[in-house]
Structure 1
């Protein structure tokens, strides 16, 4: 047990260093350069080198105690910067993954774009279907997969949220409700408990990747704040935020796909755990009964049919 705890502590320390202290130390170094150079000498490497040499020759650094004090200060500042980046990342995540409909103008604008893209997709699908029925070559234009990709670049489903990422995470719930009358928000905590360990590991890894991506955007905001003293900080911050945003979009898509796959593959298993009669595949009846049972409305199951049946 002691060796296990020791190994766990070592892994946690390594993660803490990699995720917080080392990026924080980079930010502290950037802030130091910004303080010494300012806007007027932003790219003067020789000036920065002279200042560093002057610091190294300072009497305070002649003793081991002075060096240790400086290292301790840098470590504390780096850790504090890491916590600040995590806090900013959480705020960014709430903004990018908001479940509300505000700002409504942005949601409505995205909805209009999606409707135009959906019309183009449906028109292209009809063209290809008619050509196939007549045994003709496909008419000029994008492949159906390309048309679908253009549609999903706006939103996987009809937009109900201000951001692409929020709608992408909402898409599995929309589809499962439309196809199976399954309320994913209600069923998910129960479904998580019956998922195989491999599925939970995949989902946890995808969620961690998303968290790291928004934290990277948080680091970008901190570097952009350095731009108040040193203009290159704005460039570094902008690039870092953009990188975090792109990674967060990819991570969101992967996470949403895994959530939907887990629900489609294992909802029947959950229904059997609850003693519900099921077939080999998920059906509308099973989805409706699971939702009623987990919502505490099991008395509705023998009395009503699923909506739309």
Structure 2
């Protein structure tokens, strides 16, 4: 048990260091550059040299307690920035995937109408109405289509089915889906860090460049992760028709669940509500 706890503590410390402290220290270093370096000379060494020279007297023969307190404060500040980024990443995922709250209804409707109008004006608009945009973001629409496509083919509602099917999948089947989910969360975290860097660009323009690159890469990776997650979720339903039928006492016809059976399964999962 002692060895297990030691190993667990090492893993937690490693996670804390890699996810919060190191990115936080990099952010604090960038913020320090934004404070010291002007727009006109963003990579100059003289302002940095001057700032270090001003700190010189306090750095000579510091008391051990002062060194410990300074390092502890720096680590706590870095961890605080890291926690802020993680919280912002949750907000980014929420904005990407929805659903948005009622007070954001006007913006939701405006963005959805804009996306739908653009799709209808495209050279080859979707022939099926359900494939036109119906959510304010691309990612929310891509996730919505999983439910629409599964319902159109099998009569099943993925929101009801998925928690039960997930429990029945093998570890080998779960692994790529979990990897796609983690990739989506990591993309949201990268976007969140980029959003934190953008305000620093008001004082030091390279920080804005860093932020824009991070946000752009995060959005791209977020779309990729969401698309992979949606494809794998839908594929899990497609290739596990017999498993789903066995779970709910149905007999598949020609190897697939019919829309009538899907409606009965939905009613069963709804507990008659």
TM band (smaller chain): 0.7 to 0.9
Per the alignment, residue 247 of structure 2 pairs with 273
What's the TM-score, normalizing by structure 2?
Answer: 0.87
Per the alignment, residue 69 of structure 2 pairs with 69
Residue pairs, 1:209-288, within 5 angstroms: 209-279=183-253, 280-288=255-263
Q: Which of residues 154, 161, 186 is equivalent to 1:180?
A: 154
In structure 2, C-alpha distance between the alignment counterparts of 1:71 and 1:169, rounded to whole Å: 44
What's the TM-score, normalizing by structure 1?
Answer: 0.77
In structure 2, C-alpha distance between the alignment counterparts of 1:158 and 1:286, rounded to whole Å: 27
Shift of 1:181: 1.1
Determine if contact 2:241/2:252 at 8 Å carries over to the other structure: no
Per the alignment, residue 132 of structure 2 pairs with 158
Per the alignment, residue 103 of structure 1 pairs with 108
Determine if contact 1:20/1:83 at 8 Å carries over to the other structure: yes
Determine if contact 2:245/2:257 at 8 Å carries over to the other structure: no
Per the alignment, residue 25 of structure 2 pairs with 25
Per the alignment, residue 86 of structure 1 pairs with 86
In structure 2, C-alpha distance between the alignment counterparts of 1:59 and 1:82, rounded to whole Å: 27
**Is 1:293 the equivalent of 2:268?**
yes
In structure 2, C-alpha distance between the alignment counterparts of 1:56 and 1:18, rounded to whole Å: 31
Q: CA separation of 1:206/1:187 partners in 2, compared to 1, >3 Å: closer, same or farther?
A: same
| SS of equivalent to 1:58 | helix
In structure 2, C-alpha distance between the alignment counterparts of 1:106 and 1:172, rounded to whole Å: 21
Determine if contact 1:180/1:287 at 8 Å carries over to the other structure: yes
* RMSD, matched Cα: 2.5
**Is 1:203 the equivalent of 2:203?**
no
Shift of 1:218: 0.9
Per the alignment, residue 51 of structure 2 pairs with 51
In structure 1, C-alpha distance between the alignment counterparts of 2:121 and 2:50, rounded to whole Å: 60
In structure 2, C-alpha distance between the alignment counterparts of 1:61 and 1:256, rounded to whole Å: 59
Shift of 1:222: 1.1
Q: CA separation of 1:55/1:94 partners in 2, compared to 1, >3 Å: closer, same or farther?
A: same
Of 268-277 and 15-24, more deviation after overlay is shown by 268-277
**Is 1:114 the equivalent of 2:114?**
no
Shift of 1:59: 4.0
**Is 1:34 the equivalent of 2:9?**
no
Determine if contact 2:130/2:148 at 8 Å carries over to the other structure: no
**Is 1:10 the equivalent of 2:5?**
no
In structure 2, C-alpha distance between the alignment counterparts of 1:265 and 1:15, rounded to whole Å: 36
Determine if contact 2:142/2:226 at 8 Å carries over to the other structure: yes
Shift of 1:4: 3.4
In structure 2, C-alpha distance between the alignment counterparts of 1:156 and 1:22, rounded to whole Å: 45
Q: CA separation of 1:6/1:59 partners in 2, compared to 1, >3 Å: closer, same or farther?
A: closer
Q: How many residues align structurally?
A: 266
In structure 2, C-alpha distance between the alignment counterparts of 1:259 and 1:45, rounded to whole Å: 52
In structure 2, C-alpha distance between the alignment counterparts of 1:156 and 1:255, rounded to whole Å: 20
